[in-house]
Structure 1
Amino acid sequence: MEHGEDRQITIIDEEGNEILCNIIMTFESDDYGKSYVIYSPVGQEFDEDGDPIYHASSFIPAEDGEDGELYPIESDEEWEMVEEVLNTFFDEEEGE
């Protein structure tokens, strides 16, 4: 996983294509003992209905300060927790 100061990462999709994504937010979960990143593909921020597209992965930061590996989120409980954090994030942004 790579990202610069502009808060972007490059991910590799199932077909092996590199996709540049904007990082929406990162956070840590004490319940799961993991860090999470929520990101949106550059140039593909919305689906055909105009709804925002978000992806989320867990990651384990590397010890030397470099980026760690991205891992899929596999349990429904984790997805619900991620969605809750994302919704809270957007509610706070709208409130400012």
Structure 2
Amino acid sequence: MSEEEQQITLVDEHGNEELYTVLFTFDSEDYGKSYMFLYPADAENDDEVDIQAYSYVPDADGNADEGQLNEIESEDEWKMVEEVLNTFLGEDDAE
């Protein structure tokens, strides 16, 4: 793992811990939130990777890995997040 890669541990509703790698983070002025995209750390070279998105509140030092993750609930917010991810991945569906 390079120094630039951030990893975060998520705990599911059953108390199981899973390590994720942060794909990237971004801020939205429209929603006044920060967002993070994560994928399972053990899915390094898989063709299809399950990418998860969350809004987050960084800790007092501005670190995403120690802050609070929140589910994205609004449909409009999901659309914006998906557009950002598609742009990042280079998949422009608006052709």
**Could you tell me which residue of structure 1 aligns to residue 49 of structure 2?**
52
Distance 1:24 1:40 in 2: 7
Unaligned regions of 5+ residues in structure 2, if any? none
Q: For the residues of structure 2 that align with 1:82 and 1:57, how far apart are their CA atoms? A: 9
Residue identity matched to 1:57: Y
Match of 1:41 in 2: 40
Deviation at 1:64, TM superposition (A): 2.9
| Pairing 1:80-95 to 2, within 5 Å after superposition | 80-91=79-90
TM-score w.r.t. structure 2 length?
A: 0.78
TM-score, normalised relative to structure 1: 0.77
Number of equivalenced pairs: 86
Q: Indicate the percent of aligned positions where both proteins have the same amino acid.
A: 50
| Structure with more helix by fraction | 1
When the two chains are superposed, the root-mean-square deviation of aligned CA atoms in Å is 2.1
Point out where structure 1 has 5 or more consecutive residues left out of the alignment. Answer: none
Task: Give the letter for the 2:35 counterpart.
Answer: Y
